[in-house]
Structure 1
Amino acid sequence: MDKINLLVIVTTISLFISVFLAFFLLTVKTKQKTSNVLFALFLLLTAIDTSHPLFNLVADGPSNLGMLRNTLSFFQIPVFHLYVLSVCYTDFKLKPKYLLHLLPFLIANLLLLPRFYSVDTAAKINFIMNRKDMFELQFFHILIHLQIVIYFTAVFMLLRKAKKLYLENYAGTSINAYNWLFQFTSVLTALYLIVILKNVFKFSDYPYISEWIRIGILVLQPFIICWYLYKALNNPGLFRNIDSKLKLVSDLILEEKNNDQVTVDEKEYNQELLKLQQYMVEEKPFLNPSLTIQDVAKGIKVPVRDLSLLINHKLEQHFYDFVNAYRVESAMDILKDVTKSKVTVLEILYEVGFNSKSSFNTAFKKHTGNTPTSYRKGL
């Protein structure tokens, strides 16, 4: 089997999987419709970008449609960035300002207008044959490589902030979602770095290496996407977004300093802390697996801002860890109770407010140094 046939076969399989998954995401009933639409669009744009071998089978030579297909790659990473935004923030909405993401695509096509789009076929062939000397294509590749670096940096910064906001304001198990999305983004980043390597070889004296790297990318791509979707679709509650209006505690502290606000005195701080601890012990709000800092603030009648500073800054604990400590303590009481020796660890974790075995084990080991099972055996 020669290289061209292999490319066609691999591209056809990759294209079919991407289109099928995109169709599924667009038709499946879900609350996360915007996220699904954006990820489906990302899959379709990726499919178009990797369809080069199939496109060449039906194209007679360089064409405006073929070049337009190439420039659509400028949409891939911006769409993925918007997808991550929609996953992280529950109040995400598509806004006119997001049209700015079109700029790289528009700039690239405007540059190609004089010497490619508006000339005859012979001139187009000459343009492609001498691509190493064409500043438009060189600029095209520099721009898209720069775009990859900037957008993926922005995505990682977004995930870091979203995870921190979640830890400071929520006590569910959704932290796993940000870890998972971070892993997927890392894998996707590695894939795009390989794409950059492919493009470097494309304009070198070893273009055949570029073709073999392309085959490898085509093979890896559907596996990575299927891996991600399998995880996401089998855990419909995995991505439980946060409110983008929430502020990090570090920002709240900075605002206080800039505004010369009077900080809470020690006596008032102790009163609020006592009220909080009493509420946690008597009312046991931590038994609610979806507990938020807003729920606790309402329960003890303290402003959310003050409570956030109290827990996340004064106690130097994330709200997530603060609540989980109470859950673990409650689980420890059950594990110590000889009358409940037949109650399984799985039943216990649900009873004390966890809804994930992995998050329960992680929190329990962090708090006690042991797993729940080994702790029970050691009693």
Structure 2
Amino acid sequence: MDKLDLLQGIGRISVFVSLLLAFFLLTVKTENKLANRLFAWFFIFSAIDLSGFFIDATNRVELNLEIFRSTACLLGMPLFYLFVLAVCYSDFKLKWKHLVHLIPFIVVNLVFIPRIYLSFDLSLEEFLKTLNLKPEIYFIQIMIEFQYAFYIISVFLILRKYREIYLENYADPSTSTYKWLFQITCVFLIAHSVVVLKNILRYSGFREIFLWANVLVGSIALFITCWFIMKALNHPELFRGVNSKLKLTKEILPEVEEKSESVDEQNDLIKIQILNLKQYMIEKEPFLDPSLTIQELSNQINIPVRELSILINHHMNQHFFDFVNEYRIQKAMNLLKDESKKQLTVLEILYEVGFNSKSSFNTSFKKHTNLTPTAYRNS
């Protein structure tokens, strides 16, 4: 089997697996249907892009269709960007304004019309010889790189804000959604770097190296798609969104400070609120609820959620996530040292104090005590 046969084989398998994953995402039952549909369409367009590994044009009409197919890669990153928004924000909805993401795809195809789509004065062989040297081809490659940089940066910014909002408003120690999306984005960044290197080799004259680079790109695409399938099957809970209307403390603090009373009165009120909050946490132990949110705690202690957010995240200088975990860890420490609780395993204790993951419990416990739970119990 030569390199071209190998490349075509990998391409066919990648397209099949991508379409299989898209079918799974479109048919699986889930609360976040929009995210699944966006991700499914991302894989459908990925399959369209990967089909270029084994599709050969035999005439000018087919070549035009093949060139049009290749421009579909400009729809991949917008779909991934919208998918990330749909996963991160539970109230995200598609709107007419999102059609703006089609502009690069439309512009490129309009640019291609005069000298590529409508150019029939040359034979197929002659046209192919000059195709890669046309300014329009350079244009789409530059457009792809600028578009990719824009969306990859935008996705990282979305993930950063999502993580900050999550830590400020939720006490559930599971941040698997953020980690998964961050991993996906990093994998895409690495994969795209390989594609850029491959495109540079296209003009280097090293045809053999270019063919092997195509094999590598196809293999990476196949690996990524299979990885997504394993993630989807083993971790269906990854779609965990937050409300997009939630604001970070640094965004709402100026609004509250403008309406506040004198500095002395404000400081006295803050001290009283902190004391009442700490007393409530000790007496009522709301942190035992693994899915506790700042909104739920706000309802319990009758403090507006905006004020509570500022109180914890700004005046106490803690994320809500860390604030709640301190009480969980303190209760876990007491249970680990309690002689009457020796029969309880570490796993039983972590569930009892409000954690739902052994890894997150161990991480938080070591952060607060510099010891593992087992080492602390034996110390």
Which interval holds the TM-score relative to the shorter structure?
over 0.9
Q: C-alpha displacement at 1:337, in angstroms?
A: 1.4
**Contact (CA 8 Å) 1:63, 1:121: kept in 2 or not?**
no
> Equivalents in 1 of 2:40, 2:196: separation in Å?
24
Structure 1 residues 132, 329: CA separation in 2 closer, same or farther (over 3 Å shift)? same
**Contact (CA 8 Å) 2:14, 2:225: kept in 1 or not?**
no
SS where residue 173 of structure 1 aligns? coil
Q: C-alpha displacement at 1:275, in angstroms?
A: 1.3
Query: Any residues of structure 2 matched to 1:158-307 within 5 Å, and which?
Result: 158-256=158-256, 259=258, 262=261, 265-307=266-308
2:44 is the alignment partner of 1:44? yes
Question: When the two structures are superposed, what TM-score results if normalisation uses the length of structure 2?
Answer: 0.94
> Equivalents in 1 of 2:8, 2:154: separation in Å?
34
Question: When the two structures are superposed, what TM-score results if normalisation uses the length of structure 1?
Answer: 0.94
> Equivalents in 1 of 2:44, 2:228: separation in Å?
16
Q: How many residues align?
A: 376
Query: Any residues of structure 2 matched to 1:1-80 within 5 Å, and which?
Result: 1-56=1-56, 59-60=58-59, 63-80=63-80
**Contact (CA 8 Å) 1:90, 1:244: kept in 2 or not?**
yes
> Equivalents in 1 of 2:293, 2:223: separation in Å?
36
Q: Which runs of 5+ in 1 are unaligned?
A: none
Amino acid at match of 1:173: P
Alpha-carbon deviations, 1:61-81, whole Å to 9, x = none? 652211111000000011001
> Equivalents in 2 of 1:308, 1:214: separation in Å?
51
**Contact (CA 8 Å) 1:19, 1:44: kept in 2 or not?**
yes
**Contact (CA 8 Å) 1:174, 1:239: kept in 2 or not?**
no
**Contact (CA 8 Å) 1:22, 1:43: kept in 2 or not?**
yes
Partner of 1:90: 90
Amino acid at match of 1:14: S
Amino acid at match of 2:314: H
> Equivalents in 2 of 1:8, 1:246: separation in Å?
48
Q: C-alpha displacement at 1:253, in angstroms?
A: 2.6
Query: Any residues of structure 2 matched to 1:123-162 within 5 Å, and which?
Result: 125-162=125-162
Partner of 2:317: 316
Alpha-carbon deviations, 1:110-159, whole Å to 9, x = none? 00011121232736654432134311111010000111111000000110
> Equivalents in 1 of 2:127, 2:140: separation in Å?
14
> Equivalents in 2 of 1:121, 1:33: separation in Å?
48
> Equivalents in 2 of 1:83, 1:66: separation in Å?
27
What is the identity percentage for the equivalent residue pairs of Structure 1 and Structure 2? 47
Q: C-alpha displacement at 1:236, in angstroms?
A: 2.5
Structure 1 residues 235, 290: CA separation in 2 closer, same or farther (over 3 Å shift)? same
Structure 1 residues 90, 186: CA separation in 2 closer, same or farther (over 3 Å shift)? same
Q: Which runs of 5+ in 2 are unaligned?
A: none
SS where residue 348 of structure 1 aligns? helix
Greater length-normalized contact order (CA 8 Å, ≥ 6 residues apart): 2
**Contact (CA 8 Å) 1:174, 1:240: kept in 2 or not?**
no
For the aligned residue pairs, the C-alpha RMSD in angstroms reads: 1.8
Alpha-carbon deviations, 1:80-119, whole Å to 9, x = none? 0111111100001111111000000000000001112123
Alpha-carbon deviations, 1:190-227, whole Å to 9, x = none? 10111111112213323443321121111122222322
Q: C-alpha displacement at 1:260, in angstroms?
A: 6.9
> Equivalents in 2 of 1:163, 1:229: separation in Å?
25
Alpha-carbon deviations, 1:242-281, whole Å to 9, x = none? 0111111111234456x57556711100111111111111
**Contact (CA 8 Å) 1:312, 1:319: kept in 2 or not?**
yes
SS where residue 51 of structure 1 aligns? helix
